[in-house]
Amino acid sequence: MSIESAYQYLYLSAAIVLAVLVGIVLIRSVIGPRITDRILCINMIGTLVICIIAILALRQEEGYLVDISLIYAMISFLTVLILASVYIRTKNKPPEDGEKDTPSEGGKEEGHG
């Protein structure tokens, strides 16, 4: 067995194991009882996919694929940030109109679902 094919098999097996893990994490994100479970799982899937892309970049010997994993990391970070800014309640939110005319209020506090 030559060294190149050994590297190919190594990368392939690592990528397959990581892909199986992505599927398992997806199950957790479906059954996760709270919204934060789901965001956490999406974040973890992001990390796993970053690793898979980095392995793929070495396997194909195309360095530019690492760029894609960097962009992926940035976007998954931005997702968590923006979702946090939507969901976090502050103390001085506008009073009294919280109940009647904020339709998204239900989604905000819907913890279990």
What residues line the site for other proteins (CB under 8 A)?
A: 3, 6-7, 10, 14, 17-18, 21, 24-25, 28, 32, 34-37, 39-41, 43-44, 47-48, 50-51, 54-55, 57-58, 63-64, 66-67, 69-71, 73-78, 80-99, 101-102, 105-106, 108-109, 111
Question: Which one-letter DSSP state was computed for residue 71?
Answer: H
Q: CA-CA distances (angstroms) from residue 4 to 49, 55, 59, 62, 67?
A: 24, 15, 10, 15, 24
Alpha carbons 18 and 111: distance in angstroms, whole number:
30
CB of 92 to other proteins, least distance (A): 6
CB of 1 to other proteins, least distance (A): 10
Tokens 């919280």 -> residue: 98
CB of 75 to other proteins, least distance (A): 7
